[in-house]
């Protein structure tokens, strides 16, 4: 089977079918942002300070509160060992005392944020990411969750989404039950690939039985949704190994699957220098793998959500998409539209009112600011009207694959055709490629265009091509690296 021969249409009846056109994907794949925010994090400026963040929170209070229940992100940066493909902001150490120090500062930051948001501290969504959140001991996690509950008002379990990224290598069955008892109701498991040779090549040895046992424990403990992360394009991966991994994944039946394209950027991410170029699959083989995964997942009944995400049709994410409630934030797709996001921990990014702000990226700088009694905001951006407008356009395209032109004209005093004349002219080329359709009322992404939705959104990104304020890689905390990953 070659990639030229592949053209796949997902199962009829799926809420969001998808057409894989290898020739178009190969021709149009380029580097571009993942749009977990707009403007992207590489546009944040050091001119944005703690004071600007306070103003943003005060602005919410003046408007009568947050946009709804808050979303809270907690960053735990530590890992036991390094995975060679990793582009996250993490600290690899076996010295557990570092986590204890970090936790004391993290609690201080949570307390300060809790005070700032007092009177509007209802929480509908919580996400623990890293690094490896389960690097923390059971007892440390217990204390941290109790501290969070002291400062934020959690929605009841059946309403709130409380998720945690789990490294299956770090937890026992008992620990999984403990996490559920501590309040988490969703898990996402890092798997990447089940093949032992691939695992060896990326320094992440994770026996299949161990992963399956953690999934079973999560089901037994009553977690509402189990998600697994996979990566295609890793060293030693072939179409055959990918086929076998996919069969095992489908048999394990997770509710959600994230399938990421490995971005090999060794000049930005040091661990990636341990990966041999010769072990990486060629670009054409990667496309074959992607096609295979899409075909197998859709045949197994998974719905394509967007970007790199698939979900079972009855999963909340798929339901939210059908109902037009899907949203995109630094953790990817979310069912809680337009929530203000408070992010705590080193390098974490908040989205409050019309601002984005990012914490200090090194532990030293993060601790120093907290020692001074101020929140550790390092940089950010206040969105202007044009940013807000483009953010809505990009959000709609990423989450719903369509944009109602009338709804934009109702919300903003402009004629879409005039304001976006240059963008519409650019979109005509993508229309000829069959990726979008444009009429007076709708801009729609076609089945063929869905995999290339980032290319379509890039047309509306005013900042692409402008010089950046700061150029550095910070993947894993939502920030965009100097050179973006491939759109496919
Ligand atoms: S992939 Fe995850 S577990 Fe591995 S080094 Fe990166 S953050 Fe740590």
pLDDT digits (tens, 9 = 90+) for 331-390: 778 887 678 999 999 999 999 999 999 999 999 999 999 999 999 999 999 999 999 999
CA-closest residue to ligand 1 atom 1? 86
Predicted pLDDT of residue 12: 38
Pocket residue to mutate for ligand 1, from 80, 93, 130, 135, most atoms within 8 A of Cβ:
130
443-460 pLDDT tens trace: 999 988 888 899 999 999
Rounded-to-integer distance, Cα 401 and Cα 321, Å: 10
Residue of 99, 165, 171, 190 to test ligand 1 pocket, by largest number of atoms within 8 Å of CB: 190
Helices (H) and strands (E) in the chain, counts: 16, 22
Residue 453: in which H helix or E strand, if any? helix 453-458
Per-residue confidence (pLDDT) for residue 11, from 0 to 100: 39
Q: What is the 206 CA–ligand 1 centroid distance (Å)?
A: 13
* pLDDT tens sequence across 457-469: 999 999 997 766 5
Q: Which atom of ligand 1 is nearest to the CA of 85?
A: 1
- For residue 436, which of 421, 420, 422, 452 has the smallest C-alpha distance? 452
Q: Are 300 and 250 in contact (CB under 8 A)?
A: yes
Predicted confidence (pLDDT) at residue 281 exceeds the cutoff of 60: yes
- Return the residue whose CA atom lies nearest to atom 4 of ligand 1: 83
Longest alpha-carbon distance in the chain: 62
* Closest C-alpha to 315, from 242, 246, 228: 228
CB of 132 within 6 A of ligand 1: the answer is yes
pLDDT tens per residue across span 76-104? 999 999 999 998 889 999 999 999 999 99
Distance 275 CA to ligand 1 centre (A): 15
Strand partners, 306: 309
Q: Is the CB of 123 under 6 A from ligand 1?
A: no
> DSSP readout, 220-272?
HHT-SEEEEEEEES-TT--HHHHHHHHHHHHHH--SEEEEEEP---TTT-GGG
Whether the predicted pLDDT of 9 surpasses 70: no
How far lies 165's CA from each of 107, 153, 398, in Å? 20, 22, 23
Query: How many angstroms separate the alpha carbon of residue 52 from the centre of ligand 1?
Result: 32
pLDDT interval class at 8 (50, 70, 90): very low
How far from the centroid of its chain's Cα atoms is residue 209's Cα? 27
Tell me how far the alpha carbon of residue 79 lies from the centroid of ligand 1, in angstroms: 6
SS3 call for 357: strand
Nearest to 466 by CA among 402, 386, 403, 411: 386
Ligand 1: which atom is nearest the Cα of residue 82? 5
Residues forming beta bridges with residue 344, ordered by sequence position: 74
User: Ligand 1 centroid vs 131 CA: distance in angstroms?
Assistant: 5
Put residue 344 in one of left, alpha, beta given phi > 0 → left and psi -120 to 50 → alpha: beta
**Residue nearest (by alpha carbon) to ligand 1 atom 2:** 131
Query: What's the pLDDT score for residue 215?
Result: 98
Q: How far is the CA of 92 from the centre of ligand 1 (A)?
A: 9
Q: Is any atom of ligand 1 closer than 6 Å to the C-beta of 475?
A: no
CA 455 to chain centre: 18
Buried b (16+ CB within 10 A) or exposed e, 262-292: bbbbeebbebbeebeeeebbeeebbbbbbbb
**Structure tokens, 136:** 């923390």
pLDDT at res. 20: 77
Output the CA 40–ligand 1 centroid distance in Å. Answer: 23
Ligand 1 pocket, mutate which of 75, 77, 88 (most atoms under 8 A from CB):
88
Instruction: Determine the residue of 81, 86, 190 to mutate for testing ligand 1's pocket, defined as the one with the most ligand atoms within 8 A of the Cβ atom.
Output: 86
CB 226 near ligand 1, within 6 Å: no
pTM: 0.91
Strands (E), 315-441: 327-329, 332-334, 341-344, 349-352, 355-359, 377-382, 402-404, 436-438
Residue 404: strand pairing partners:
442
Provide Rg for the chain, Cα atoms: 22
By residue count, the chain amounts to: 488
pLDDT of residue 479: 39
**Interatomic CA distance for residues 433 and 293, integer angstroms:** 24
Are the beta carbons of 7 and 22 closer than 8 angstroms? yes
CA-to-CA distance for 228 and 168, rounded, in angstroms? 11
Give the ligand 1 atom nearest the CA of 165: 2
**Cα separation, 176 vs 204, whole angstroms:** 20
Q: What percent of the chain has pLDDT over 70?
A: 92
Q: Is residue 280 lining ligand 1, measured as CB closer than 6 Å?
A: no
- Whether 296 and 246 have beta carbons less than 8 Å apart is answered as yes
SS percent in the chain: helix, strand, coil, step 5: 40, 20, 40
Q: Does the beta carbon of 169 sit less than 6 angstroms from any atom of ligand 1?
A: no
pLDDT at 7: 42
Query: 366 alpha carbon to ligand 1 midpoint, in Å?
Result: 21
* Distance separating alpha carbons of residues 297 and 14, to the nearest angstrom: 11
Is 130 touching ligand 1 by the criterion CB < 6 Å? yes
Please name the residue whose Cα sits nearest to atom 7 of ligand 1.
131
What span, in angstroms and rounded, lies between the C-alpha atoms of 315 and 227?
Answer: 10
131 lines ligand 1 (CB under 6 A): yes
Quick one: tokens of 224?
Answer: 């509402």
> In this prediction, what percent of the chain has a pLDDT beyond 90?
74
Q: What angle do CA 310, 314, 318 make, to 5 degrees?
A: 45
φ, ψ of residue 162 to 5 degrees: the values are: -120, 105
Ligand 1 centre distance from Cα of residue 192 (Å): 11
C-alpha span between 358 and 192 (Å, rounded): 28
């Amino acid at each position: 089977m070659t990639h030229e021969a592949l053209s796949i249409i997902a199962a009829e009846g799926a809420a969001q079918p998808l057409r894989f056109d290898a020739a178009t994907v190969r021709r149009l794949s380029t580097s571009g942002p993942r749009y977990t925010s707009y403007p992207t994090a590489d546009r944040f400026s050091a001119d944005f300070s703690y004071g600007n963040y306070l103003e943003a929170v005060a602005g919410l209070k003046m408007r009568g509160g947050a946009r709804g229940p808050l979303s809270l992100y907690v960053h735990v940066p530590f890992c036991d060992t390094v995975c060679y493909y990793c582009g996250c902001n993490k600290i690899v150490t076996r010295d557990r005392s570092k986590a204890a120090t970090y936790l004391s500062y993290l609690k201080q930051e949570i307390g300060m944020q809790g005070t700032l948001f007092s009177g509007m501290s209802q929480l509908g969504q919580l996400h623990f990411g890293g690094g490896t959140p389960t690097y923390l001991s059971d007892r440390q996690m217990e204390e941290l969750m109790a501290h969070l509950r002291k400062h934020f008002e959690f929605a009841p379990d059946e309403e709130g989404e409380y998720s945690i990224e789990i490294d299956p290598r770090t937890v026992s069955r008992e620990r999984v039950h403990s996490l559920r008892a501590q309040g988490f109701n969703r898990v996402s498991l890092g798997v990447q690939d089940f093949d032992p040779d691939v695992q060896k090549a990326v320094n992440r040895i994770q026996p299949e039985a161990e992963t399956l046992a953690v999934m079973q424990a999560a089901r037994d403990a009553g977690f509402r949704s189990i998600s697994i992360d996979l990566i295609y394009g890793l060293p030693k991966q072939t179409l055959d190994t990918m086929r076998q991994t996919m069969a095992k994944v489908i048999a394990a039946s997770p509710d959600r699957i994230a399938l990421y394209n490995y971005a090999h950027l060794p000049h930005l991410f040091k661990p990636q220098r341990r990966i041999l170029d010769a072990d990486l699959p060629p670009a054409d083989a990667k496309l074959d793998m992607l096609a295979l995964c899409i075909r197998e997942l859709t045949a197994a009944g998974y719905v394509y959500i967007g970007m790199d995400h698939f979900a079972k049709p009855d999963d909340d994410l798929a339901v939210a998409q059908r109902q037009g409630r899907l949203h995109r934030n630094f953790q990817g797709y979310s069912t809680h539209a337009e929530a203000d996001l408070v992010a705590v921990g080193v390098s974490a990014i908040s989205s409050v009112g019309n601002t984005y702000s990012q914490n200090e990226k090194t532990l030293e700088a993060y601790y120093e600011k907290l020692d001074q009694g101020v929140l550790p905001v390092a940089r950010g951006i206040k969105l202007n009207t044009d940013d807000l407008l483009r953010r809505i356009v990009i959000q709609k395209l990423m989450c719903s694959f369509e944009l109602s032109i009338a709804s934009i004209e109702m919300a903003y005093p402009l004629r879409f055709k005039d304001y976006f004349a240059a963008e519409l002219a650019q979109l005509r080329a993508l229309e000829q490629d069959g990726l979008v359709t444009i009429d007076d009322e709708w801009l729609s992404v076609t089945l063929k265009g869905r995999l290339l939705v980032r290319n379509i959104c890039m047309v509306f990104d005013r900042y692409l091509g402008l010089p950046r304020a700061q150029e550095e890689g910070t993947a894993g905390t939502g920030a965009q690296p100097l050179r973006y990953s491939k759109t496919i």
